[in-house]
Structure 1
């Protein structure tokens, strides 16, 4: 699973720093793209059990990441400076990560990740509604195209091939990430690593109260360690580290690699081929997103 910031014109670091940041963000997208494939290796009936173990291993990884990078004192200071904005972002990440696992029990990986592809545009629309931020004409056109594409994808649910509940959870993921984007932009001084860690803790605690049991096999434990620590935790660590070094439009553009790769891995490894309307709607969403982000990247380079 992957999040993107709204386009702004940042103070850019040197080209070498940008290259490093771009490599980290692209790495996070590639790591996240294996999420659906790993989930399909698990045969645990209770989705809350998966959420618990995945969130637990992600939290342990992120805590270790902060302790190694910032040291014990630095880690404590990060949490102290997080404030309510960090708590809100943590709740958003907890909602998104939990919904991701539960959605996979109802719908295809393609539906989930393709609906998430509209996060930057949903965030732009929310910013306009809540804060009256100006939105360019090409952004409105892209938003309209994304809404149309998602409508086509969701329409497959009406035919019974995909669950409406799964599509609803996928849309909830997109809105949770978009909300986190808005908060992050309004509180740009807040470091997001402790907020992400808090999100995994909240998800873990919530799942612990809902799960029917925690018993898993040794093979499932191995998959869950990779699923939580590497796919989820490492992906978050790479993204929050690299996204600070590159323009937000470029970060979002690189993040679309997850949307493209995730259904491919599942189709190749598990033979889960998306339906025709999902492919058509997803193509519209991706085309709109790539065109939009391409224009924004061009504008930032000019600036």
Structure 2
């Protein structure tokens, strides 16, 4: 079993920023998807995954070179394969679920990710979850529930809601594994995940041809929304506790409606605004408390200080 990593306060702050940036990139998904006219969901999954994989490969080669990139793929082991499977499943399920259930249902399921991640980290690895984090998780779930409450009309799609729940479970598992095996670079794992998603979508898609306009938006859907988001998450999630990483990820369903409002002129409802305010307030207060805790001076004589990461 891997030992929980010791990360410096500066490293945790960098992790906070990177995980937030991943949520920011993922939040553009709804706004970008509105521009795509391709009728087959599997075609969208295929091209989105292909562009994301191409971006991640180029990113790793630019950062580490050919040889180191190949070595990273070889060294990721079972944890990397598990993360790859989780992200392949989650990214595919997100696009397909939109054809069966409402975005509101998907967001409501995703609100449970922080709780699932915290429970998994505690149950499997006994990673301590502070009371403040539990309170913040509860506030986040309550806020997102308010956001989507008026869109829940009682129509239930077993396939769609099942896929939405699967997204939350897969993302929670990936978050915990990435944190627990922080010594393993997970960028190649996320890249492999996009390749697996593309391969599976290729076996299901009815066609691959899309208009040049759609291809441009699919490029942004894959590179900016998925690829860059995965790169930020894989780098940052290893530096912060799993529960907090998942908590920061909740910015995605909060920011998503804002971009749709600004770009597509779809005004959020009053409940969306109220629920979003609750979630953002909870996240900002919790992050502020974490920074304050890290900034406290260490008492003289205390040993075993964390080394810079």
User: Normalising to structure 2: TM-score of the pair?
Assistant: 0.78
Residue of structure 2 in register with 1:265 after alignment: 259
Residue of structure 1 in register with 2:82 after alignment: 88
Aligned equivalents of 1:107, 1:96: Cα separation in 2: 15
Which SS does the other structure have where 2:38 is aligned? Answer: coil
Aligned residues: 294
Deviations along 1:253-290, one digit per CA (max 9) or x if unpaired, are 76555443321111222244455555555544444444
> Is the CA contact (8 Å cut-off) linking 1:58 and 1:229 kept in structure 2?
yes
Q: Does 1:197 align with 2:164?
A: no
Aligned mate of 2:27, from 21, 26, 33: 33
> Is the CA contact (8 Å cut-off) linking 1:121 and 1:139 kept in structure 2?
no
Residue 100 of structure 1: how far off its partner (Å): 1.9
Q: Does 1:72 align with 2:69?
A: no
Pairwise CA RMSD = 3.6
1:206-225 to structure 2, matched below 5 A, reads: 206-225=200-219
Deviations along 1:147-206, one digit per CA (max 9) or x if unpaired, are 444555565465258967655544432322111111122211110111000110111112
Structure 2, unaligned runs of 5 or more: 299-309
Shift in alpha-carbon separation, 1:135–1:30, aligned structure 2, 3 A = closer
Q: Does 1:99 align with 2:93?
A: yes
Aligned equivalents of 1:275, 1:170: Cα separation in 2: 22
1:127-146 to structure 2, matched below 5 A, reads: 127-146=121-140
Whose radius of gyration is greater, 1 or 2?
2
User: Normalising to structure 1: TM-score of the pair?
Assistant: 0.79
Aligned equivalents of 2:26, 2:148: Cα separation in 1: 23
Residue 38 of structure 1: how far off its partner (Å): 0.7
Q: Does 1:300 align with 2:294?
A: yes
Aligned equivalents of 1:162, 1:275: Cα separation in 2: 22
Aligned mate of 2:43, from 49, 59, 78: 49
Residue of structure 1 in register with 2:8 after alignment: 11
